Amino acid sequence: MAVAVRPLTRAAVAALLCVAALTSAEAAAKPGRSASASGAGQARQVRQAAVPARVPVQAPPRVKVDAQGDLVPDVRAEAAIIYNPATNKVLWEERAFDQRSIASITKVMTALCFLEDAPDLARQALVTAADIRGASVTHLRASEKVTLQNLLYLMLIASDNAAARVIARTSPYGGAGFVVRMNQKASELGLASTSYADPSGLMPQNVSSAYDMARLISYAADDAMIASIMRTEAYSFRTDKRSVTIHSTNQLLRSSGVDVRGGKTGFIAQAGYCLATLLHLPDIDQTVAVVVLGARSNSGRFSETRNLLNWIASKAQSFMGGQHEQ
């Protein structure tokens, strides 16, 4: 999809093309790694996803020339989008309407469906062996009790899969009924490319598009509690047996110069490294949703997002007033 971008000065074009050329040379010298893996490779990727990534702070936008001769973002992820929730306009996209696995970005919908029934967040839930079996990422142990509030924090901050399962299982819908409600909610929100198979995102059948996830993260961040949790970098609590401290999987919260209003990471081998986030542009006091799906590495999803943020920030004064409508 072509985006109408106002012409830049000759000096600006030359500078950006120089950056693009240098970036292309680096890419040629250091080929990217595939996001797919099996066996021990998948296990290594899961461990790597928990390692803090170094995110460039003031890197210039990485750009390329599109078919229309415009300078646009150069992304290495499978799909990406910049979306203005205030106007419902797509500012830029690449394969943003393709349906793909979304991994743990699924948990955004899990949180929305969980909170819509106004649960008693002080109520304790018992963790079962089935909840943690095959959970891949969890801080929970079988036979301990955890409040619903702490389960919500675990799910959105640490992307805890067992926490998502407990939330669904103990809901008024039950485990299977909760997934039905997730799909109903997606339909109500007009997320046409979105379908859920489980509440955690471990199943590759949880699918959506970058466009749908940009709209969803924008909607979810309007919920004060969800937004507050998604902006929390570290959190400590107690189960009935022990103390637990968790840290956010969203490395942008530890990156200076980025004002995160909401966000959720995701990774499974079939999805690659994913990130849906809502970011504030201080120069014009507006927010944009930036979604990257199928990045090649844990650090890649954050650097890709930062690249898109830098690109739209460089055009904020003129571009946000003349968005492209999809």
pLDDT digits (tens, 9 = 90+) for 225-242: 999 999 999 999 999 999
pLDDT at residue 213 is higher than 80: yes
pLDDT mean over 313-319? 74
Q: Three-state SS for 237?
A: strand
Structure tokens at 3: 């985006």
Tell me the CATH number at 309. Answer: 3.40.710.10
pLDDT at residue 159 is higher than 60: yes
DSSP assigned state of 233:
S
Is 164 within the bounds of a domain? yes
pLDDT mean over 264-291? 96
Is 236 within the bounds of a domain? yes
Q: How far apart are CA 289 and CA 214, in angstroms?
A: 5
pLDDT for 44 equals 40
Is 286 within the bounds of a domain? yes
For residues 144 and 127, the answer to whether their CB atoms sit within 8 Å is: yes
For residues 82 and 290, the answer to whether their CB atoms sit within 8 Å is: yes
101-117 tens-digit pLDDT? 999 999 999 999 999 99
What's the gap between Cα 246 and its chain centre?
18
Domain count, the chain: 1
Residues paired with 155 in a beta bridge: none
Give the pLDDT band (50/70/90) at residue 318.
Answer: low
40-73 tens-digit pLDDT? 444 444 433 444 444 444 456 687 777 777 778 8
pTM for the structure as a whole: 0.80
Q: Which residue has the higher pLDDT, 46 or 155?
A: 155
For residues 68 and 286, the answer to whether their CB atoms sit within 8 Å is: no
Handedness of CA 256, 138, 223, 299 (dihedral sign): positive
Residues 127, 152, 277: CA angle, nearest 5 degrees: 140
Is 254 within the bounds of a domain? yes
Is 244 within the bounds of a domain? yes
Domain coverage including residue 277: 33-319
Look-up of token digits 């003031």: 58
Nearest to 262 by CA among 85, 122, 101: 85
pLDDT for 73 equals 84
pLDDT at residue 298 is higher than 60: yes
pLDDT mean over 268-280? 98
DSSP assigned state of 143:
T
Is 16 within the bounds of a domain? no
